[in-house]
Structures are given as structure tokens and as C-alpha cells.
């Protein structure tokens, strides 16, 4: 838990979020500023600033986050086409420094991203 972290506050319920999954290790909720008809975030309960701060021992956790993305894609009706994104570092667009996986879908996605 990091005192100033907005996602830690979502994990502990101090600030509200539209949660769509919770278990002992991860929490998922709808993004407050969606970039697609479906835009969810999957985060670890434990405060990890970014992918750069994950260790080899976090491999199972990272895998669970990806699989949760797949399960949510199915539940939210976008399993035919969706995008999983992890922005790592400010220059890549990371604005919240608590590791998170974006799940985006429900519209045509182009490549490369901007
Ligand atoms: P990133 O830019 O990759 O760090 O993504 C951070 C995401 O968190 C953005 O898509 C924001 O819209 C989203 N976000 C920030 N604050 C909240 C919040 N309180 N509830 C839900 N999503 C949030």
C-alpha cells in the first residue's frame, strides 16, 4: 500500500470504482475515462509501480493479470477482438504509477498505436 496511490485507494475501497473482479491478488474495474466502449483496468492489490518494478517472483501474478484480462474480455462480450496494454514509464503514457493492464475493446483497433 502506498499512501498517495489512487489505485491503492481503489483496492482498499477509500475511493470508489466500478469493480468487476476482485480476488486475493488482483482487482479489476472500469476505467473512469474510457478510450473504447469497453475499457477496464486490471491491477495487483500489492503496490508495484510499473512493470519495471516487477520481479521474477511476480511471474505468476503477471500471468494471472493477463488471464483475468482474457476472462473479462469474455464476460464483457469482446472476446472476438480486444487489446491488452501495459504502459510502462511516462514517455509510454503511464500516468498512474501502480502497475495496471488495460483491457480495451468494442471498437476497431488500429496499429501502430500513437
Ligand atoms: P496509464 O495512463 O496507462 O497510467 O493509465 C491510467 C488509467 O487510469 C487511465 O486510463 C485513467 O483514465 C485511469 N484512471 C485514473 N484514475 C482512475 C479512477 N479513479 N478510476 C478509474 N480509472 C482511473
Residue nearest to atom 3 of ligand 1 (CA): 94
pLDDT, residue 51, reads: 98
Tell me what the mean pLDDT of segment 77-97 comes to.
98
pTM over 0.95: yes
**How far, in Å, CA of 81 to CA of 102, rounded?**
14
pLDDT at res. 1: 79
Atom of ligand 1 at shortest range from CA of 94: 4
> Atom 13 (ligand 1): residue with closest C-alpha?
31
Query: Could you tell me the pLDDT band of residue 2, with boundaries at 50, 70 and 90?
Result: confident
User: What is the gyration radius of the CA atoms in the chain, in angstroms?
Assistant: 14
CA of 56 to the centre of ligand 1 (A): 26
Q: Ligand 1: residues within 6 Å at CB?
A: 6, 17, 29, 31-33, 41, 87, 93-96
Residue 114's pLDDT band, with cuts at 50, 70 and 90, is confident
Q: What is the pLDDT of residues 11-65, one digit of tens each?
A: 999 999 999 999 999 999 999 999 999 999 999 999 999 999 999 999 999 999 9
Q: How far is the CA of 79 from the centre of ligand 1 (A)?
A: 22
Amino acid at each position: 500500500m502506498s499512501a498517495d496511490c489512487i489505485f491503492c485507494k481503489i483496492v482498499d475501497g477509500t475511493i470508489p470504482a466500478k469493480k468487476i473482479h476482485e480476488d486475493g491478488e488482483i482487482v479489476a474495474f472500469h476505467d473512469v475515462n474510457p478510450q473504447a466502449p469497453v475499457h477496464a483496468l486490471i491491477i495487483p492489490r500489492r503496490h508495484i509501480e510499473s512493470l519495471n518494478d516487477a520481479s521474477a517472483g511476480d511471474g505468476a501474478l503477471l500471468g494471472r493479470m493477463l488471464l483475468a484480462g482474457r476472462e473479462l474480455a469474455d464476460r464483457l462480450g469482446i472476446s472476438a477482438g480486444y487489446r491488452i496494454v501495459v504502459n510502462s514509464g511516462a514517455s509510454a503514457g503511464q500516468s498512474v504509477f501502480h502497475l495496471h493492464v488495460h483491457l480495451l475493446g468494442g471498437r476497431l483497433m488500429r496499429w501502430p498505436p500513437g
